[in-house]
Chains A and B, each alone.
Chain A
Amino acid sequence: MRTTSFSLPKSFLGVLPLYLAVEIVLGITAFNKVSGAFGILALFTGHPLAFMQWVFYLWSTVTLFVFAQGLFEIHKPNILTFSQIFVFYSIDTLCNCFFTLWFTGDWFNVESQTEAAVGSTITKRTEDISSQGASQGYEYSMTIFITLTSLVFRFYFNFILASFVQELLRHPKYMFDQDDIEQDLKNKSIWKRWWLKCQKSCYKLCKNLLA
């Protein structure tokens, strides 16, 4: 049996059982992933989507389904589902870092253009009132702070999921041979077959990584 080189969190915030954390992690992530559906809704308002936005929104929609299934079976977890969730979550964390960088670039591009256009029209205010509005430095530091906090949480959540899947893999109750289970794949729709195959390969990957 392989042991991981660093220790994963064995409880949520040091006190609560892991499954509570997984429930919270999946719920929060599912809320965030709904952005995909709302992004695609933008098409109805006639707003064009850039290629990277298409990729981001479609990926969000797919992952929404993957993460949502975990919420329904958290009290009776299926190791295949949670392996799939863990693998998708890990890929999603990497994608998230990339998308965050990409869209940050996008925002600052737009921002610098509007700033140049609007800069001259801003009306002057008295010292007293203008101090009530945030300075540029404050705005930027808050933006960076919130973005980094969300990324830090994401990594912590990723470790929580890794730990949960590891515990499942090592737990006698869930430790059974997946090849033993009769799937009856032939009588299932192509989507279901593909989904189950995907879960199976995620399971194998998790077993190699975490067990």
Chain B
Amino acid sequence: MSRYLEKWFLSERPPNCHVADLETSFDPKITLRKLQRYKMSVADWCHYGFLGSVLLFVFITNPAPWFLKFLAYAFLGLLFIIPITSQFFFNALPILTWVALYFTSSSFPASSRPPITVKVLPAIETILYGDNLSDILATSTNPILDILAWIPYGVLHFSAPFFIAAVLFVFGPPTILQGFSFAFGYMNLFGVIIQNFFPAAPPWYKILYGLQSAHYGMHGSPGGLARIDKLLNINVYTQAFSNSSVIFGAFPSLHSGCSTIDALFLAYCFPRLTPLFIGYVCWLWWSTMYLTHHYFVDLIAGSVISYVVFQYTKYFHLPVVDVDLFCRWSYSSIEKYDMVRSDPLQVDSNDVESVPLQAMDLGIELNRRDTREGTNSLSPYIFDRNDNSSATSNTSLDLQGDLLNPTSRLGKQRVD
């Protein structure tokens, strides 16, 4: 078995290459030494400062006994300091922070929370998207559609991130999993913070209570998932959603956010399968509306947060993927995006296609002299006007116009 695995995963491994190696030591001194040598950048200060303050807030506001809270944080500290566990847990800090804040959310006193909105989301949905899309898609239901909606919403949403993390770890470039946990954690953390600051009732509320104003003593509802509980003769979703930590957390949809971030990472690693991943996001979108859990605007908000966080992660953290390489052990080095060099508007003096304008002006001067001499020679045009195969000629339309009418350029200065 081990020989088979070795042949399968390590056959392409470059000799003496250690980029894909994992830390196997249990010695805390290694971590402490690394910490001593580490120089914090501005981004690091923001990152750890923000997560640290959220964790401190959770530590103070969580209703659990102080001793237990202290024990939990001490245990986390221990996991961070042992190299073998720290490489996974420390990089999962944004995810841990999100989970901590999410489960503390239910304990915030109702008196200090913002008022729950009931009408804002359906109103925005109609104003921005023309109709109550979520309402329409949930009007006719049948058991086959129920199952079809349940698969992404009730099963894949909870299991996919673990599976995707494993796939990215094995088949993506080294350190991509760090990027995934960063983006996944931050997306969810931003989502939960917005949900707490802007509590809004999901579509099932409108079905159950109409336009009545809501209060924090209300229980959640499984919406359309109650039909699944009935169909499968279980009580899982009714139980879970009735006691959810964030009952009025319709905006943004973290189901949509998670599926989008999953799809973006998979498409980043396996670009050829992009249509499949887009299909998954559309499937999940439909299912959340069909099960009356979210309005369309929530889905868009969730996906937009995911997309923005992913773009940031891509340009500042993610390693570049080489689609020709099979797995993490095939990489000989880790390359990051160079934001400036990938800028299509950057003027590179070494690039033959980026001919400086002065050179072009020189060419025009020569040509102008020719015309003045009455030769009517259009020689420099040969490459641009008559030879249609030259797709990358550097003469612009306005320059050509100027060439035909040389006086028009006199006294005119380019502002480029």
Contact = CB atoms under 8 A, between A and B. Distances in A.
Interface of A: 1, 3, 16-20, 23-24, 27-28, 31-32, 34-35, 37-39, 41-42, 45-47, 49, 52-53, 56-57, 74-77, 99-100, 103-104, 106-107, 110-111, 114-115, 118, 121-123, 125, 129-135, 138-139, 142-143, 146-147, 150, 164, 167-168, 170-173, 175-182, 207, 211
A41 B137 contact: yes
Given A20-B315, A75-B344, A123 B212 contact: yes
A122 B391 contact: no
Nearest to B388: A182
Nearest to A17: B343
Given A77-B344, A180-B393, A99 B130 contact: yes
9 interchain residue pairs of minimum CB distance: A133-B213, A134-B115, A132-B215, A42-B136, A107-B126, A175-B396, A35-B129, A129-B215, A134-B117
Interface stretch (B31-39, B220-228, B350-358): B350-358
Interface stretch (B67-75, B146-154, B296-304, B364-372): B296-304
Interface stretch (B5-13, B15-23, B408-416): B408-416
B312 to A, nearest CB: 9
8 contacts: A17-B343, A31-B307, A34-B282, A38-B133, A103-B128, A133-B214, A179-B397, A180-B384
B87 to A, nearest CB: 30
A41 B129 CA distance: 13
B56 interface: no
B285 interface: yes
B339 A17 contact: yes
B27 interface: no
Interface in B363-412: 384-385, 388-400, 412
| A contact face: mostly helix, strand, loop, or mixed | helix
Contact of B117 (A16, A56, A121, A139): A139
Q: How large is the interface on B (under 10, 10 to 19, 20 to 34, 35 or more residues)?
A: 35 or more
A138 B117 contact: yes
A130 B212 CA distance: 10
A38 B285 contact: yes
Contact of B307 (A27, A53, A100, A133): A27
A52 B131 CA distance: 11
Interface in B80-112: 110
B391 A182 contact: yes
A122 B215 CA distance: 14
Contacts, number: 204
Contact of B215 (A53, A103, A130): A130
A19 B343 contact: yes
A49 B198 CA distance: 31
Interface string B332-358: 000000011011110100010111110
B12 to A, nearest CB: 27
Contacts of A147: 124, 127-128
Given A38-B285, A176-B394, A182-B391, 13 more contacts: A17-B339, A17-B345, A39-B129, A45-B140, A76-B344, A118-B211, A122-B211, A134-B115, A138-B117, A150-B128, A171-B347, A173-B353, A211-B398
Given A76-B344, A132-B113, A172-B357, A182 B389 contact: yes
A184 to B, nearest CB: 10
Contacts of A24: 307-308, 311
A129 B118 contact: no
A114 B216 CA distance: 25
B400 A177 contact: yes
B120 interface: yes
B396 A167 contact: no
Contact of A133 (B116, B124, B139, B198): B116
B277 interface: no
> Which of B286, B307, B385 has the most C-beta atoms of chain A within 10 angstroms of its own C-beta?
B307
A132 B399 CA distance: 67
A134 B340 CA distance: 47
Contacts of A3: 415
A96 B133 CA distance: 18
Nearest to A43: B136
B345 A167 contact: yes
A176 B392 contact: yes
B393 to A, nearest CB: 5
Contacts of B124: 143, 146-147
Contacts of A23: 311
A129 B212 CA distance: 12
Nearest to A211: B398
A137 to B, nearest CB: 10
> Which of B128, B198, B393, B414 has the most C-beta atoms of chain A within 10 angstroms of its own C-beta?
B128
Given A24-B311, A41-B286, A100 B128 contact: yes
Contacts of B65: none
A176 B391 contact: yes
Contacts of B340: 17
Contact of B347 (A17, A139, A172): A172
Nearest to B201: A133
B317 interface: no
A100 B123 CA distance: 11
Nearest to B116: A133
Contact of B345 (A100, A121, A150, A168): A168
A138 B311 contact: no
